[in-house]
Every structure is written in structure tokens, then in C-alpha cells.
Structure 1
Amino acid sequence: MKRKPTAPAARRTRRSVVTAVATACAVVALPATATAAAPADGAAHSSGWNDYSCKPSDRHPRPVVLVHGTFGNSVDNWLGLAPYLVKRGYCVFSLDYGQLPGKPFFHGLGPIEDSAKQLSAYVDKVLDATGTNEVDIVGHSQGGMMPRQYLKFGGGAEKVNALVGIAPSNHGTTLSGLAALADQFPPVGDMVEEIGPSLLQQKKGSAFLEKLNEGGDTVPGVAYTVIASRYDEVVTPYETQFLDGPDVHNVTVQDLCPVDLAEHLAIGLTDRVAWHETANALDPAHATPTTCLS
């Protein structure tokens, strides 16, 4: 006869399941581990971004706003791509959003609706500083999806020329099937919600995503690019990242470089194939072919 677990054993089992799933869900858009506090908005970074004296050039007339992913911040998520774009003559800015009390350095956890409002205020700040009328936005994971809330419901379409999403959670994730456990075991969902509301909002089929995608993925006047990897283990299946609509360009990096092994983190942090496609999306008039040598 099968023995019933003792109360302490049962509690340990429940804690193990909750911890495993919560940790897995928390990985959505997880960047490199934060090792230092991100500088306050407006502080110039040593690699040349967040320089509010920067004035866009005729070649690159719009500032670029970088939007980190869940558990990210305005520095760690962009230690590679920001200098890459600055070197190519862009005025580059990055913000922190979705902060929660008691969780320093690791942001993107708050309700996505509130994060979109923070993005709206930040875009206005960048426009005022640079004297421009539009920005381009580049985001990683949640940072590639969250701006769509701003575009669709926050008046952002009038202020944004292009949105480039790198591994964005546009249609949610099953997290390789683990997200379904949050439905089957309510305590798991409660624990994830305590970590940060944005986690369950990014689950496939969430009420937030149903509303965001209702009536179409895009809004008129904005150019959309999605850059995805077949090896993405966080936003799964990877095809859920793609958008449908006019002025949409969906890219799979392995179609450009078959030996590219970038997964969810690397595609945003270190993958020069993705970076080159980002540069092409920001300046399509001067786009060049993206290859393994890019």
C-alpha cells in the first residue's frame, strides 16, 4: 500500500514544485545577472549611451530607445547592443521599468500596463532632449512586446517610427510546457504572481495578451521587425514571437546563418547576426545582407 507523505514531506514537495516553476517562469527575458545598480535615467554611460546631449544626425535622424526584458535593467541587457549602435552613429537611450519594492536591479516585473506608461513618459523625455518627433524602439523579450501596449493603447503610434523585437513574447509562452503547470496547480500561479505580475501576463492565453492582440497585432504607421531563434527555450514555441500584419518583417536568425546557435539570452546579449538585422531594421535604406560574418 502506497504510504501517504507526511505533512513536512508534502510541504517540501510543494515548495520544490513551486520554486522550480516560479524560477522557470521568472527566466522570461532574463538577461545577464545584474552585478551593479543601473545608473539613474539621464546618466551618461561610459560606452556613450544615455547621453542626453546627443543630437541625431541626418543619417540617423531618430533616437533609439532600448527596452530591457523581465528581470533586466537599463544597463545589463544592453552592454553589447548599445555600444554597437552608438558606434554606428545613433543616439541611444535605455530605461528601467516595471520596478517592484524590495527587488533592486531586477526590473520588468510590474504590471505591463504600468510599464507601458513608464515607457510613454520616457519616450517623451527623449523626444524633448533630442528635439525630435519620433523614436525607434528596440526591445528584448518582454521589452519587445510591452511597447505594443504603448503603441496600441497609450498613443505611442504617433511617436514611434519602428519597433524591433528581439525574441519578443508577443503571443505568450508555454515556457516549453512548464507554464501550463500554473493552470493545473493554482498555488504555483500565486507564487509566480508574487514574484511579479508581468510573468503570468506573458503566459500564452493570458487575459492581457488576448486584449493586446485582439483586432490585430499591429497599428498603422509603425514598421515592425521580429528577430527570433529556433533555439529559444524561453518564449516557446519560437513562432509565437512573430507578428502578423502590414509592414511586418519576421526574421529567424538561422535562415540568415544556419550555424547560429543563439538561444533566448544570447540573441539579445551577444548575437551579431541579430544586431546586424536590428541595424538593418533601423536604417532599411542602407541595409546590407546579414550573414554569419556580419
Structure 2
Amino acid sequence: MLPWKRVVRPLAALLLAAAALTVPTATATGAHAAGAPSSGWNDYSCKPSAAHPRPVVLVHGTFGNSVDNWLGLAPYLTHRDYCVFSLDYGRLDGVPFFHGLGPIEESARQLDVFVDRVLAATGAAKADIVGHSQGGMMPRHYLKFLGGADEVNALVGIAPSNHGTTLAGLTRLLPYFPGVGDLLTEATPALAQQVAGSDFLTRLNAGGDTVPGVRYTVIATRYDEVVTPYRSQYLSGPNVRNVLLQDLCPVDLSEHVAIGLIDRIAFHEVANALDPARARPTTCASAFS
């Protein structure tokens, strides 16, 4: 083994272990199938504080759902006194648990309705959105075509599919979601729409990646094997900050799934993006904060 690997691998394992300690135990189907309430989030009696005046809406990725995708980040944010909400979108008839598969335009309309509900319940004027994978890209359709820019202050994308990937990249998600392989033989519009060069992505990115009035943050990992190349996740335009996880912590080895599920270094950077006035430097030590 090369000398640097003797240092990097144990450090990376330690960082991921620290992150994993914060994630409640649940199977991919167990929490969602049982209809278990999400602990500490989706509380419609929550009122945003003066320190955090906007509710945070979490948007899961392809094959994800409103519970399992957020067992790490949602408690991380609620512990820091954010009002946090998550939704299921893009459901296909007869497909339980695994969502984010329907037409992305329709998913964006579902997000629009959900944000309206959250704003009405909390009394806030605007929300912040944090999404993983498709969930970091799909809200851009809502912002650009459905009036979302009037309702959203910031969009934080964790490994977002902003400019698409290859179908082969999407199929690399399969080992993380046992039993979904058969879905690829059915009508799954969101998969085709996330392939680089699709008609959907061409329309979404025409005329610029951003809309006025919204702050954008992209958090990417160089080890992403699903949305590739990882730089395709980055956005161009005003009010954009593109962050590479390994620039913050070189020994962080998180790939596409881990960065959204358990990576507390990424979570720390999400918190900074939500509250830039109180941002603290993100380093490897952030895994323990």
C-alpha cells in the first residue's frame, strides 16, 4: 500500500464512522412502509425563529423518499433549530417506497404545491430548498418556470444532476436500492430526462442556469460515480457558489449516495449555505461538530 493511503484510508473511515453515528437505524423500506412519522421534522406547528426565519424544504433524489433520504440531514438541521419539511414526489403507480421517477415537470409542480403548504403553515414569506441528486436539479424547473423564485430564497444542491449524466451513471444507483432494477424496464421518465442532452435539460438550461433573486450553492464530490463528470453539477451565473467537498476535507471519500445521506462535512456546508451570515469554515473537523 502506498504511504499516503495508510493515512488517508483510516482518516476517511473515521470521518464516515463519525457521520454514521448520527443516523438512526432504518431499512430502506421499514421507516417509510410503516408510515412512521419523521422525528423532529414535518412538524407543521413549527414556527421559524428570528435566527432562522425560513423553513427548509428537503427534496429527495431518484429512487429516494421523504424519510429515508433525510435520516442524517433532517435531524442535523432540526437540532440547529430549523423548521424542516420533506416531501415525496415523482411517484409511479404500483411502485412503493422508491420515488422521483415520474416526469420532472410534474414533480416540480408537486414541489410548488408543497412549498405553498409549508409557507402557509409557518407564516414565512420564503423557504430555502436543499435537494440531493435529482432533488437538487428539479427545483430549478420550479424556480424558472413555475414562479418559484418569488417563494424561495436559496437552493442548495447536493450532488445535483444539473446538466445530466449518462444512463450508465444512473444505473450505478441500483446497488444502493435493492429491488429497483426492474423499474428500468418500465416507464421511468425521470431517468431519461436526466441523461445529458435530454430535451428536458436543454430547456432547463437554455438562457442560463439561474434566475434572479435566488442564491445557489452546489456541493459536489470528486468521487461521484452517478452524476458524471462531477463538474457538470456546477452552475454558472450570479449568486452561485460551487463547492468541491475535497477542497474542504481532502480525505473525505464520500461518493454520490454518502454525500447526501451521512456526510456531516457536507451537512456543515449546507448549514453555512442556509445561514451565510453565521457561516463557519468547513474542515475535516466538521465531521465531529
TM range (shorter): 0.7 to 0.9
Work out the CA distance in 1 between the residues paired with 2:79 and 2:34.
21
Distance 1:225 1:132 in 2: 21
CA distance in 1, matches of 2:99, 2:170: 22
TM-score (normalizing by structure 1)? 0.81
**Cα distance, 1:214 vs. partner?**
0.2
RMSD: 1.7
Pairing of 1:157-196 with structure 2 (within 5 A): 157-174=149-166, 192=184, 194-196=186-188
Q: 1:196 Cα deviation (Å)? A: 1.1
Contact 2:31-2:67 within 8 A present in 1 as well: no
Match of 1:63 among 55, 59, 65: 55
Q: Separation in 2 of the partners of 1:140 and 1:114?
A: 18
Match of 2:116 in 1: 124
TM normalised by structure 2 equals 0.83
What secondary structure sits across from 1:113 in the alignment? helix
Query: 1:34 is matched with which residue: 6, 29, 33?
Result: 29
Q: Is the 8 A contact 1:175 1:236 kept in 2?
A: no
Matches within 5 A, 1:41-120: 44-46=37-39, 48-120=40-112
**SS of aligned partner of 1:265:** helix
Q: Does 1:222 align with 2:206?
A: no
Q: Tell whether the 8 Å contact from 1:60 to 1:90 is kept in structure 2 after alignment.
A: yes
Q: Using the alignment, how far apart are the partners of 1:281 and 1:151 within structure 2?
A: 18
Name the CA distance, whole Å, in 1 between partners of 2:206 and 2:185.
24
Answer yes or no: is the 8 Å Cα contact 2:170–2:191 preserved in 1. no
Q: Deviations over 1:180-210 (max 9, x none)?
A: xxxxxxxxxxx84724100010000000000
C-alpha contact 1:202 1:209 (8 A) present in aligned 2: yes
Give the letter for the 1:144 counterpart: G
Gaps of 5+ in 2: 1-26, 172-182
Could you tell me which of 118, 143, 151 is aligned with 2:143? 151
Deviation at 1:122, TM superposition (A): 0.1
- Is the 8 Å Cα contact of residues 65 and 137 (structure 1) preserved in structure 2? yes
- The runs of 5 or more residues in structure 1 that have no matched partner are 1-31, 180-190
The Cα of 1:44 is off from its aligned counterpart by 5.0
1:176–1:233 contact (8 Å) kept in structure 2:
no
Letter in 2 for 1:227: I
CA distance in 1, matches of 2:50, 2:241: 25
The share of aligned pairs that are identical, in percent, is 73
CA shift digits 1:96-118 (9 cap, x unpaired):
00001010111000000000000
Q: C-alpha distance in 2, partners of 1:208/1:265?
A: 24
Is the CA contact (8 Å cut-off) linking 1:38 and 1:74 kept in structure 2?
no
Query: C-alpha deviations, 1:111-141, integer Å up to 9, x for none?
Result: 0000000000000000000011100000000
Q: Distance in 1 between matches of 2:149 and 2:170?
A: 34
Is the 1:38–1:75 contact (alpha carbons within 8 Å) kept by the matching residues of 2? no
1:34 positional shift: 3.0
- 8 Å contact kept, 2:89–2:107: yes
Cα 1:34/1:44, change in 2 over 3 Å: closer
| Aligned: 1:269 with 2:264 | no
In the aligned structure 2, how far is the partner of 1:104 from the partner of 1:178? Answer: 19
Matched to 2:264, the amino acid is R
**Contact 1:44–1:52 (Cα < 8 Å) also in 2:** no
Q: Does 1:140 pair with 2:135?
A: no
CA distance in structure 1 between the aligned counterparts of 2:34 and 2:82, rounded to whole angstroms: 20
Alignment pair present for 1:213 and 2:205: yes
CA contact (8 A) 2:70 2:261 kept: yes
- Aligned-partner Cα distance in 2 for 1:178–1:44: 29
Aligned partners of 2:169 and 2:225 also within 8 Å: no
Q: Report if aligned partners of 1:85, 1:279 keep a CA contact under 8 Å in 2.
A: yes
Deviation at 1:175? Answer: 5.2
